[in-house]
Amino acid sequence: MRRWMVAPLMLAAALGMTMWSDIPEAQAQGKGAPPEVETIRTADGMKLQGLFHATTKPKTGSAATSPTVLFLYPPGVDRSMAKGDWESLANTLNAEGFNVFRFDWRGHGKSTDILDPVGDNTNPGFWTNPLTGPWNTRFIRGSNKRPPKNDLFVKEISPSYFPMYVQDLAAVRQHLDVKNDQKQLNSSSLYVIASEDAAALTLLWLTAEWNRPSIHPVLGAGEMYIMVPSPGIRTVPEAGNDIAGAIFLSGSRPMLNSFSPNTIQAWIKNTLKIRDVNPMLFLYGDQDSQGKAAAKFLFEDALVAEGNKQLGVRALEQTFMREVKGGKGLRGVALLGQNGTLKTEDTILAYLNQLEKERGNKVPLTHDYKTPYYINVTAFGVNP
């Protein structure tokens, strides 16, 4: 089974599917229903904007039990969820029974408002909280302004700030869990499609998810879960079980010491369930030697996807690398929007459908997370 990604013919045979020419192309799906604009509050008081694309053709009878796909573009200057052909992919997945959620990272697009710059003793704000406050004041230009800034733009953010974007992922997951509990989607069957450096953020987030309980723990009266990890709090069932799979478009890591090869490898080594339970597909364009090398590192060195008897890890049956023929050096989101020639959308859809088939109808849990929480990145070896 592990070699079904070698060629379209073998893909079709292994998945029990029709040939590529018989698969409806994503470009033919047309526009779906307009997405709902939603806001998300992070633990440190950022206001993020997201778009929820609810499926109109649920796989399991209703959107409440249908799987959800989260889109992640790489943070950076001149990037937002409006750049690239994410919308047509969302329409394609909606038509196949998947809910879709996408959002802008802090400082990007319309995610620029700081709701709580300073806070108080009971609710530390963006610039003053003990977990992200030091990062915010050190790596954001203008942090020393008085009165404190209540907005944030990506041009003010240092590249060294990159690990803090994982706080946005935590907030989005909590937002999706609330929607899950309101029976609007299923966050117990959650997929991720991440482009370029967002792959490294995904791996950091997965590490945190395997150190967090999927269901809000029973704490003292009125107490809320506030930080991952929280020593002494039982993590079973782990939130990592809810991640049904990930697809990386030219998956890579930022050239930062905080995301060094050794650090990323340590996440997997110390949390083997990431490789064993969360299947992944790495796509990269042909003639993109940099994209291939980055994907190869994550696939071979970090995940050890082909197995290693000396290390005592088995080969993975649902994790693959695949070159996108005709990509001619295209990277990341540029691999989307040309399904007629590249078949990227068809490959994504085939992979998600196969994972769903093997996963079965995952009954959504009631997660009961009412408030956002922080990820303590230093606990996972990430330091400024």
Distance CA 284, CA 344 (A): 10
β partners of residue 281: 247, 320
Q: What is the pLDDT of residues 45-95, one digit of tens each?
A: 999 999 999 998 887 778 788 999 999 999 999 988 988 899 999 999 999
**Other residues' Cβ atoms within 10 Å of the Cβ of residue 309:** 8
Q: What is the pTM of this model?
A: 0.91
Q: What is the pLDDT of residues 261-311, one digit of tens each?
A: 999 999 999 999 999 999 999 999 999 999 999 999 999 999 999 999 888
Distance CA 99, CA 337 (A): 19
Whether pLDDT at 194 is above 80 = yes
pLDDT of 229 reads 98
Phi, psi of 83 (to 5 degrees): -90, 125
pLDDT of 7 reads 38
pLDDT of 220 reads 87
Question: What would the two tokens of residue 364 be?
Answer: 């959504």
Residues 6+ apart with CB under 8 A from 68: 98, 99, 100, 101, 176, 185, 186, 187, 189, 190, 191
In the predicted model, what is the mean pLDDT of the chain? 90
Find the mean pLDDT for residues 152-170.
97
Whether pLDDT at 380 is above 50 = yes
pLDDT of 217 reads 95
Listing DSSP states for 3-61 in one string gives TTTS-HHHHHHHHT---GGGSPPGGGS---SPPEEEEEE-TTSEEEEEEEE--SS-SSS
Q: What percentage of the chain has pLDDT greater than the value 90? A: 80
Residues 6+ apart with CB under 8 A from 15: 4, 350, 353, 354
Spatial CA neighbour of 259 closest among 198, 307, 303, 171: 198
Residues 6+ apart with CB under 8 A from 238: 209, 210, 211, 212, 213, 214, 273
SS3 assignment, position 121: coil
Question: What would the two tokens of residue 217 be?
Answer: 């723990």
pLDDT of 31 reads 63
* Torsion on CA atoms 251, 255, 256, 257, rounded to nearest 10: 100
Q: What is the pLDDT of residues 348-372, one digit of tens each?
A: 999 999 999 998 778 899 999 999 9
Question: What would the two tokens of residue 148 be?
Answer: 């404190």
pLDDT of 119 reads 78
Q: Which residue has the tokens 């020393």?
A: 144
Q: What is the pLDDT of residues 165-178, one digit of tens each?
A: 999 999 999 999 99
Q: What is the pLDDT of residues 4-28, one digit of tens each?
A: 343 333 344 333 333 223 333 443 4
pLDDT of 32 reads 63
